Amino acid sequence: MTLFNADDFGITLPQSEHILDCRREGVLTGVSVMPNSPHLEQAMALLEGDGTLHVAVHLNLTEGKCLSAPEDVPLLAGPDGRFRQSFFGLFVQTLLHPRAMGAQMAREFSAQLDRTAPLLGDRPLRLDGHQHIQMIPGVMAAIQAVLAGRGVKAAYIRFSREPLGPYLRHRELWREYRPVNILKNLVLNGFALWDGRYMRRMGLEKNMVMGLVLSGGLEHRLVRALLPDMERAAAKRGAELELVMHPGWGVGPGEGLDVPGGPFEAFYLSPGRKREYDCLRAL
């Protein structure tokens, strides 16, 4: 089975409406909601009446403001509450300050789950991470600790490993692959070697993703060419495949969670968001 997921749901209402166009008119099967968005409650109201849509909490430690008191998570956020770490920064801090980071991440994840849980209703708990932060071993350990402390079991946690083989077999597409995304793929696949034990402890099956090597540029012609090979690779491993996309176009300047002019804002303003929207509607 292939899941077609839209990350970053709930940043703005127009962006959320565009994502749901892919549900009404395309193949979208799930969304990942930004727990620290100021528009989360209004965006979640748009999902009422669609009980079969998968809804995941998009655990976030890198964009926007924390939900904890900033003074309680100083390694994660500045005095203004804005997250201060990148993906790489989180990884380094989990190595330098494992206990303090574990405690602060657990506190923030608990705050994010406290905000989203009432909005999920009776939907099963599904988790993933903004920028795939859940794959950092120290972050995965914090997620496990939070779930154990709350006495709950997740129905699904995204396991961001993506085989390179299907990409390499399509030599005609090699020029489409950005070196930074190849590096991202290798890093996450490396973390997967450690993260498997956390998944087993939580009683979860390891799954697979598609979308790392083409992150930000998953247009229809590329997905159509690569998806059958990815589905075969997933079937060979007995794993569920999740196509991770970001079709939420329509976030205007200064409307996102990032500071105006920041790198996250550039991502949301990119024409790639509309191309991924068009892809999900065309598949």
Q: Which residues contact 172 (CB under 8 A, 6 or more apart)?
A: none
Q: Report the domain count for the chain.
A: 1
* Residues with Cβ within 8 Å of residue 241, at least 6 apart in sequence: 1, 2, 3, 207, 208, 209, 210, 230, 231, 234
pLDDT reported for residue 110:
98
Q: What is the pLDDT of residue 120?
A: 96
Mean pLDDT by 10 residues, the chain (283 residues): 96 97 98 98 96 97 98 98 97 98 98 97 97 98 98 98 97 95 97 96 95 94 98 96 97 92 91 97 97
Distance CA 91, CA 75 (A): 12
Q: Which residues pair with 32 in a beta bridge?
A: 56
For position 283, what pLDDT does the model report? Answer: 95
Burial label, 228 (beta-carbon count in 10 A; 0-12, 13-18, 19+): exposed
pLDDT of residue 6: 98
pLDDT (0 to 100) of residue 260: 87
Rounded CA-CA distance 194/241 in Å is 20
Boundaries of domain holding 38:
2-282
Quote the pLDDT of residue 165.
96
| pLDDT at residue 262 in the model | 86
Measuring CA to CA, how many Å separate 194 from each of 141, 214, 234, 237? 10, 24, 20, 18
Q: Which residues contact 45 (CB under 8 A, 6 or more apart)?
A: none
Domain with residue 149: its CATH number is: 3.20.20.370
Q: Where are the alpha helices (DSSP H) in the chain?
A: 13-24, 40-45, 87-96, 98-120, 137-150, 165-169, 179-201, 220-237, 263-269, 272-282
- pLDDT score for 171: 96
* Amino acid present at 264: F
